[in-house]
Amino acid sequence: MSLVSDLMSSLQILPGVGPKTAQRLTFHLLQKDQAGGKNLAETLLEALEKVGECEVCRTLTENQQCKICTNSQRKYHKICVVETPADIIHIEAATDFSGKYFVLHGKLSPIDGMGPADLKLNMLVDMLAKPECEELIIATGSTLEGETTAQYLAHLAEQGGIKATRLAHGVPLGGDLEYIDNSTLAHAFASRTNI
């Protein structure tokens, strides 16, 4: 294989990048933005060498602890469990959450060989044992594996005497009922609240 073909194949490991997009990116980097391509390669290599998991919450950081875990304004009274580090970015942008996080880096899935030890839930149990911890906010996806993981996490919280809550699922803001799938509508209907 040629270097051009190798680069195209390598780019296809990225989510959402198929053969045509990989080809377009390859030719852009090689023909129009070689300086940008070199910078991308150097930054990627440095990130792969220096970025790891926060020793407390498991998000990605180049330090032993991330900025959230070292922020003295953030408290352990509420711990929000998410599947990926990207979920933290979304929650931080959309809410005023002032607690701590725990990143699973996946969800329970026996078929995929993902069990509690793979998600390092022993670290979460240690966080829940802190005396100031009052609530575990479960922010996993609404897939079958996400729901299974949520149930398991709720059980862990219950064992520690901690209140477990789950993000609401249902009709999106601005959504019309006629465009909502049956499963989402059924969940929203069953989880209705007082107004």
pLDDT in tens, 38-54: 999 999 999 999 999 99
Choose between 175 and 31: higher pLDDT.
Answer: 31
pLDDT band at 180 (very low <50, low <70, confident <90, very high): confident
pLDDT attached to residue 154: 96
Assess whether pLDDT exceeds 90 at residue 169: no
pLDDT attached to residue 1: 64
What is the torsion angle, in degrees rounded to the nearest 10, for the CA atoms of residue 25, residue 31, residue 33 and residue 34? 110
Assess whether pLDDT exceeds 80 at residue 193: no
Q: What are the backbone angles phi and psi of residue 164, rounded to the nearest 5°?
A: -110, 130
* Residues 112-147 as b or e (16 or more Cβ within 10 Å = b): eebeeeebebebbeebbeeeebeebbbbbbeeebbb
Assess whether pLDDT exceeds 90 at residue 183: no
Residue that the structure tokens 């875990």 belong to: 69
How far is it, in rounded angstroms, from Cα 101 to Cα 67? 11
Domains identified in the chain and CATH numbers: 3-50 (1.10.8.420), 54-166 (3.40.1360.10)
Residue that the structure tokens 């296809």 belong to: 12
Label residue 47 exposed, middle or buried (CB < 10 Å: 0-12, 13-18, 19+): exposed
Residue that the structure tokens 């609240």 belong to: 193
User: What percent of the chain has pLDDT above 90?
Assistant: 79
Q: What are the backbone angles phi and psi of residue 191, rounded to the nearest 5°?
A: -100, 20
Q: Mean pLDDT for the chain?
A: 92
The mean pLDDT of 163-173, rounded to a whole number, is: 83
Amino acid at 5: S
Assess whether pLDDT exceeds 80 at residue 173: no
Q: What are the backbone angles phi and psi of residue 8, rounded to the nearest 5°?
A: -60, -45
